[in-house]
Structure 1
């Protein structure tokens, strides 16, 4: 089958890899000059299968009001007359119940845990390296109330068979020795030993090279995707700046830009761009730097170790498609990395970046078919695009081919929003 994949971020390239492995003739199209130049470029660097949790959680509406008046809050909302933003926020707040949280977290962990097996197998098959480490993730708690609240998440992790350990102050220093240099800051942590880290941009580019060289995947860069042409219940072609492209099947992997492409097809994707920021900091003291990924639960900031760099990612900002770099957001993530690892890196020399995470109201990606028989979606992964990319790519490839997938796809496609 000839398949056209729209988008060359980590989800698009992973989809192309799994589709090509099944023998399909795959072409990837993107407006950028190379893979992973937008949201996949400067993400937090964590491949956090066990940390897959919905943003929509009990208590978030009340916290959101509080965060409006805090300088270093994890969520910021830029006031604007934007009905799409208002609708997204209402849908997200409707998912902030204990019942919806449990359903959504199970769906997310289902995809993420499958993705763990898929990325491990992918590394074995391709041999690609991307400054990766398999040393786990440590969620850090500054307050006893956070330790008490994590019990609900631990129950879901137990149900899904995810290894985890609740650690005291001494134990978190054994996992991340540099934390001994900041005594008294944290009361404990949740360790997920099977989580991973690495450079997503490097991963995506090396996987794209493998797809091109070993699997015959064609990449069409510097090609703007303009609109999709339909006929009845089928897609007939995609209009681009290089002319019309046709295939037997089409896969939309355009992240935050997916809704605008398919809206003329009467498909309404509840995906909103949630702006995130990151710093890439050169390491100056290995002993004072993280060895894997830590997540500061209070500020929702992740700090990940590459070979000679530290990636610091955080802040969720609702600001539509605005990509301006705000210094006050830089101040927040700079403050956190200096507070947790004050001697590890030279923050003054950091690269500052921002990108748009394609968030759904329930934080669960949209993977599967549509009312058009040859149009497929693999989008809306929010902050967990890289974490879920391999699992969702393999799942998507199996669904396109009509194979029995290894995990239950129920609740993952667009039909969950039919109401």
Structure 2
């Protein structure tokens, strides 16, 4: 079967690899000049199934108000006349209740745990290396209230069989030696030993090389204009270099996916949430993190990637604006210098921003659609790297008509009650994208 994958981030490349592995003839299209040059380029580096949870949790509104009043706020909202933003925020709040949280988390954990298993198998199969470490995520707390609230999280983790251990102030150094010197700033931490770390950009590029060896064609520097339909199915992808055709199509374009498929009656509630990161060289290995340390107060992750430290965080709601704003860097500078003052050289840090494709319920949109040859792999939010291998394998199996290894219930677009509308029955040229 001929398959076109739209997008060459970690999600698109993972999908292409598994499709080729299953024997399909695969072409990947992307406007960039290589793989992983947008959202996947400099993310926090976490492969964190244990930390998979929706933003929409009980008490979200009060937390958001508190965050926005902090000096180093993890949340920034830039009000604008954007109906998509306010619609997404309303849906987020509608999910911020106990029942929805439990359901959404169960879906996220299901795909995240599966993805970790797929990643382990992929490493064994290919020998791929990407500055990976398997030493877990250490969520650290600055207040007793946060530590007490960890009891709720531990109950959820226990319910889903996710391993964890709780550590008091005196036990921090045993997990992360560099924290021994700053332990007076913290009250404790929650270790998720099953989590991993790694350079997503490096992984995606090396996996693209393995995919190319399996016959995948990568066409870079190609702008996708839209999709064509004959009224029953997708018939081609219109680009600035002509129309490309295949038997099936996979949309893995992150935040840019909704506009591409809207004409098919698929109203994807995916909104770009802007994130920032710093990458700085390690100056003192003993003062740097061993794996990932997540500061619960500022929602900032500090991760060791080889001889570098990656610091990622901040959620900015500002549409598709990719401006590098100094305010977005503030929390990152603060956390890395506060917890790892000897670890890296901030004066040499590379500052980056990217758009995370978030759904209001936290779960990605993966698998088939009511359009018979159109498949989705988008909406992973901050967990694209965590869920990439599993999502790619699921979509490849769905495209090939094979039974997926985990249940797709609650993971597809069907959970939003969206079915193909009359628009699908309108033969036409391409639907234009930005």
Same fold per TM (> 0.5)? Answer: yes
Matched, 1:357 2:356: yes
Q: Whole-Å Cα distance in 2 between the matches of residues 403 and 159 of structure 1?
A: 30
Alignment of 1:386-405 (within 5 A): 386-405=385-404
Which residue is 1:9 aligned to? 9
Q: Quick one: distance in 2 between partners of 1:233 and 1:418?
A: 20
Alignment of 1:1-400 (within 5 A): 1-213=1-213, 215-400=214-399
How many Å apart are 1:398 and its aligned residue? 1.3
For 1:239 and 1:395, the matched residues in 2 are separated by 26
- Cα distance in 2, alignment partners of residues 337 and 265 from structure 1: 45
Distance 1:410 1:6 in 2: 24
For these two proteins, the number of residue pairs brought into alignment is: 418
| Aligned equivalents of 1:157, 1:401: Cα separation in 2 | 33
How far is 1:282 from its partner? Answer: 0.7
Q: Secondary structure at the match of 2:386?
A: helix
SS at 1:325's partner residue?
coil
Q: What's the TM-score, normalizing by structure 2? A: 0.95
RMSD across aligned positions (CA): 1.0
Q: Could you tell me how far apart the structure 2 residues matched to 1:149 and 1:389 are?
A: 30
1:300-344: CA deviation from partner (whole Å, max 9, x where unpaired): 000000111000000000000000001111122101110110110
2:430 aligned residue: none
TM-superposed deviation, 1:278: 0.1
Structure 2 CA distance, aligned partners of 1:347 and 1:107? 38
**1:71 Cα deviation from its structure 2 partner:** 2.3
- Cα shift at 1:389: 0.3
**In 2, are the aligned partners of 1:315 and 1:329 still within 8 Å (CA)?**
yes
Residue 144 of structure 1: CA displacement?
Answer: 1.5
SS in 1 for 2:183: coil
Is contact 2:264-2:371 (8 Å) kept?
A: no
Whole-angstrom CA distance in 1 between matches of 2:229 and 2:64: 41
Q: Note the C-alpha offset of 1:396.
A: 1.1
Is contact 1:106–1:156 with CA below 8 Å preserved after alignment? no
Contact 1:157 1:163 in 2 (8 A): yes
**CA-CA distance at 1:256 after TM superposition:** 0.3
Q: Secondary structure at the match of 1:150?
A: helix
Deviates more, 1:55-64 or 1:283-292: 55-64
- What CA distance in whole angstroms lies between the structure 2 residues aligned with 1:307 and 1:67? 32
Does the Cα contact within 8 Å between 2:115 and 2:386 map onto a contact in 1?
Answer: yes
Task: Specify every segment of 5 or more residues in structure 2 that has no aligned partner in the other structure, as ranges.
Answer: 419-434
Alpha-carbon distance in 2 for matches of 1:405, 1:265: 25
3-state SS in 2 of match to 1:268: coil
Post-superposition shift, 1:153? 2.2
TM-score (normalised: structure 1)? 0.98
Q: Secondary structure of the residue that 1:339 maps to in structure 2?
A: helix
